[in-house]
A = this chain, B = another copy of it.
Amino acid sequence: MPINSRILNLMEEVRSGRCSPEEAADHIGGLRLEEIAGVARLDLGRSIRCGIPEVVLAEGKDISHLIEIMRRYVEASGRCVASRATEEQADAIMNAASDLICEYYPEARIVILSNGTEKPENGGTVGIITAGTSDIRVAEEARIIAEEMGCRTLTAYDVGAAGIHRLFHALKELGDADAFIVCAGREGTLPAVVAGLVDRPVIGVPVSVGYGYMGKGEAALASMLQSCAVLAVVNIDAGFTAGAFAAQIASGVRKE
């Protein structure tokens, strides 16, 4: 049952006297807002509920603030992901948190900190495809997030530029995927091509490559939204959202 039952539990605690009305009122305010309107994406309760890792947007944060937040999350849930991290931030985190396990994925711009807690596993598989090499940084962000959420990932990168045979071959292996992420810039037609070849949901990710009129992923966004193919779309370069959305799909797929 996805809708959380914490309010009901809290009521029980109030009734039983384990919790005062004041404490409960405070807690409810926090709980509910926390889940609403997207402002509370990183709250500590999330990973407990649904296996989504704690994700901190590193971009623009100063190092000490960043490390403090990440440590707090690791204490609460064992693992924490920092997205859009610069190399400087990654180095600083590694140095400052030498007591923890730190993984750095430069292409994905992601740093993962953990106290040894393993990633969850849900048996789902996400297939990730890119049209060109410039799209890989976005695909990698999606991949790390999907894996942190417990999915296996299969990738086929640069299927446009460096030999289309790889797509066909990769699609055979990716045939096991429960959801597909397809990243493409310029006119962004690859997601629709893939959607015509597979039976599972395809998420299009416009990538900010391409110059001139509607360049930088805008034409790709437009053509994915206008596509006749059955396709859902995320924001330009939104690897995190694509990865988490695909993992949500994949985590629920039945395997007979």
Contact = CB atoms under 8 A, between A and B. Distances in A.
Interface of A: 1-4, 7-8, 10-12, 14-15, 17, 20-22, 24-26, 28-30, 32-44, 49-50, 52, 56-57, 60-61, 65, 69, 131-134, 159-165, 167-169, 171-172, 175, 178-179, 184, 186-190, 192-193, 195-201, 203, 206, 208-215, 217-238, 241-242, 244-245, 248-249, 252-256
User: In the complex this chain forms, how many copies of it are found?
Assistant: 8
A222 B214 contact: yes
A188 B226 CA distance: 9
A139 to B, nearest CB: 15
B222 A223 contact: yes
A222 to B, nearest CB: 4
A197 B3 contact: yes
21 contacts: A3-B172, A3-B197, A11-B21, A14-B15, A35-B196, A36-B197, A38-B228, A42-B160, A43-B164, A52-B230, A189-B192, A200-B248, A206-B213, A212-B238, A213-B225, A213-B235, A214-B225, A215-B235, A222-B222, A249-B249, A253-B254
A44 B171 CA distance: 20
Residue from A22, A201, A256 whose CB has the most chain B CB atoms within 10 Å = A201
Contact of A226 (B14, B159, B178, B219): B219
